[in-house]
Amino acid sequence: MRKLQLPVNAVKNGIESPYKYSVYLHDRKILYFKSRRKAQDFVRNFNTYVSDTIRLCYDIHVFLYSTYLNNSFTIKPYESNQIKRKLDGFLDLIEKWSRDYGDGWQSMKLNGFFNILNHIEDSALEMNNYFKKQKDYFHVNRINSYLQMIYIFYEKYDEIFKDVVTDLSYKNKPVKHLKPLKDIS
């Protein structure tokens, strides 16, 4: 499985700061570190987390697809098409994610990781809604357990960034207010 290639960059600004290294993630999220070693450790741990999560998403997809195939003869055609479209979209996302991207495009690959998580969650919710309509609570409970795993992935992602300083300087810029025009009449 291909991993993220997040580079550790030296901070080059004129302001004296204790943070000497940065890692650019996505959506203007830049993480700053005091030492190169801590930055490299973060990148290594984050790559492991992303790879493990993708592997677990494979397992969840296999479960959802096998459940779909086992029940495909009882599912109505419209609902079957909706569920199948959701399940097949996962394979397209995995194919896009596993491509090689250049150094500057790793944030795109990270966004693909979140697209995969969101897609698995949507697929599970779609199947869950179908089984709730059919009052098949055995499958509802099993899918709910996998949904809990997905929510744990999201919580783990939030935990990773709790102790890291995030660049939010774009929010600190003051907004200019225009003076209202005087009535000329």
pLDDT cut 70: percent of the chain above it? 74
For range 105-110, the mean pLDDT: 66
**CA distances from residue 144 to 16, 54, 65, 148, 172 in whole angstroms, order as listed:** 50, 19, 15, 6, 41
pLDDT number for residue 2 = 65
pTM of the model: 0.74
Please determine, for residue 184, whether its predicted confidence score (pLDDT) is greater than 60. no
What is the chain's mean pLDDT, rounded? 79
pLDDT number for residue 168 = 43
Please determine, for residue 172, whether its predicted confidence score (pLDDT) is greater than 80. no
pLDDT tens, 20-36? Answer: 777 777 666 777 888 88
Domain spans of the chain, in order of start: 46-164
- Comparing 178 with 154, which gets the higher pLDDT? 154
Please determine, for residue 170, whether its predicted confidence score (pLDDT) is greater than 50. no
Band (pLDDT 50/70/90 cuts) for residue 115 is: confident
Please determine, for residue 11, whether its predicted confidence score (pLDDT) is greater than 90. no
Nearest alpha carbon to residue 149 among 50, 57, 48, 47: 57
Q: Lowest-confidence range among 60-74, 120-134, 151-165?
A: 151-165
